[in-house]
Structure 1
Amino acid sequence: MGTFLFLFAVVFFLAQPNSVGTGFLEEKCLQYEGRCVAKCQINEELVALCGKFQKCCKLWEPCQ
């Protein structure tokens, strides 16, 4: 019974929606001046990855 409670506690804490790494990834996206979305628009480029299976997209700037 003790093993069951221990495993339940571990699974419960791992299944939290806001994991520790998610905030870090979103801050990194903001440093790139991007935004976390499910899919980039046609005039945006993928610059990083965000949490929750999202992509960090930034407006595409052509070379000058």
Structure 2
Amino acid sequence: MKRFIFLFAVLLFLVPAKNSFFDKKCLKLKGRCVNSCAKNEELVALCQKTLRCCVTLQPCEKNKDND
């Protein structure tokens, strides 16, 4: 029984660390954590609490040679 309580306590402390890991990953990708991505955004990762990490899509530059 003591082993179960110890494991439960360890897991309880690891959950916030795991959640902050996802947020930091999103910030490194220069994204933001939101409920849903906009039309001009792309889902690149997941954040904590079922949020999505969205990054704004960059428009393609047209070649000047083709004009």
| TM-score (norm: length of structure 1) | 0.68
Cα offset, 1:63, TM superposition: 3.2
Stretches of structure 1 lacking an aligned partner (at least 5 in a row): none
Pairs within 5 Å for 1:1-64: 18=16, 20-64=17-61
Point out the structure with max Rg over C-alpha.
Answer: 2
> Residue 44 of structure 2 aligns to a residue in which SS?
strand
Cα root mean square deviation, aligned: 2.0
Number of residues of Structure 1 aligned to a counterpart in Structure 2? 60
For structure 2, list consecutive stretches of 5 or more residues without a partner in the other structure.
Answer: 62-67
TM-score of the two chains, using structure 2 as the length reference:
0.66
